[in-house]
Amino acid sequence: MPHPLENKRALVTGGSRGIGAAIVKRLAHDGAHVALTYVSHPDHANATARAAQALGVQALAIHADSADATAVVAAVERTVQAFGGLDILVNNAGIAVMAPIADYRLDEFDRMVAVNLRAVFVATQATIAHMAPGGRVIMIGSCNAERMPFADGAVYAMSKAALVGLVKGLARDLGARGITINNIQPGPIDTDMNPADSDFGAMLRTLMALPRYGAAEEIAALVAYLAGPDAGFVTGASLMIDGGFTA
């Protein structure tokens, strides 16, 4: 099946670069029309949309700060208006603010929860109003939901661990409608936000079974599987793709 997602309609939050951009391009490669949101770097966002369009699908970039619930809902509605519906939602947008708990500012805590958790709920709630049976909701969580082996990451780990429970609960809510929902938990992935050739990357590799970082395209491949026809019986799952970080 060369285009298993042909004519499906997808929205990827935080899709301008890194893992998000790889997801946009993979969904487009598999035949889906794709919208992506971004909060900064419109040049990256537009370049990603053009790369998707070059694969023969419709694509658009939407400016929307995931910390703003109104903007998140508007992005969903704009996607539906542009494509005539919505079949796939990938909640990829996320931030990581690392700091000792004694120094952690409440505004930083609130923004982390707003982007990593509240926006996921808001986007999902807005999207399922437009989804037919066969719809797919996919979260991009983190292996740190299961293992946080260094200091200063407690709030980030909390925000990603909450997705595990949200997905399990929503699997029950959405299952009767024929909509699946799953959570992907990447380990260290080589992006400009977390480069493999950094000192931090060298430390993380000592914690892994496979002594390398993952590639964004490997995460995108798992997203494509969950979005596709072969994953119709997978729901409520949190799937680790971490090179053995949590082994």
Q: CB of 180 within 8 A of CB of 174?
A: yes
The CB-based long-range contact list for 41-50 (8 Å cut-off, 24+ gap) reads 41/16, 41/17, 42/16, 44/16, 44/17, 45/15, 45/16, 48/15, 48/16, 48/17, 48/20, 48/21, 48/24, 49/24
Q: Residues 106-134: what's their mean pLDDT?
A: 98
156 belongs to the catalytic site: yes
Lookup: tokens for 226: 């969950």
Does 135 fall in a domain?
Answer: yes
Does 1 fall in a domain?
Answer: no
Percent residues over pLDDT 90 in the chain: 98
Give me the chain's average pLDDT, please.
Answer: 97
Q: What is the CATH number of the domain that holds 224?
A: 3.40.50.720
Distance CA 94, CA 142 (A): 10
Counting the structural domains of the chain, the total is 1
Does 4 fall in a domain?
Answer: no
pLDDT category of residue 1 using cuts at 50, 70 and 90: low
Does 201 fall in a domain?
Answer: yes
Does 144 fall in a domain?
Answer: yes
Does 246 fall in a domain?
Answer: no
pLDDT category of residue 2 using cuts at 50, 70 and 90: confident
Q: Which domain range does residue 30 map to?
A: 9-241
Handedness of CA 232, 3, 36, 92 (dihedral sign): positive
Does 2 fall in a domain?
Answer: no
Does 247 fall in a domain?
Answer: no
Annotated catalytic residue: which of 38, 156, 213, 225? 156
Percent residues over pLDDT 70 in the chain: 100
Q: Residues 104-113: what's their mean pLDDT?
A: 97
Q: Residues 192-198: what's their mean pLDDT?
A: 92
pTM for this model (two decimals)? 0.97
Which tens digits make up the pLDDT trace of 20-56? Answer: 999 999 999 999 999 999 999 999 999 999 999 999 9
Q: Which of 165, 134, 158, 149 is CA-nearest to residue 247?
A: 149
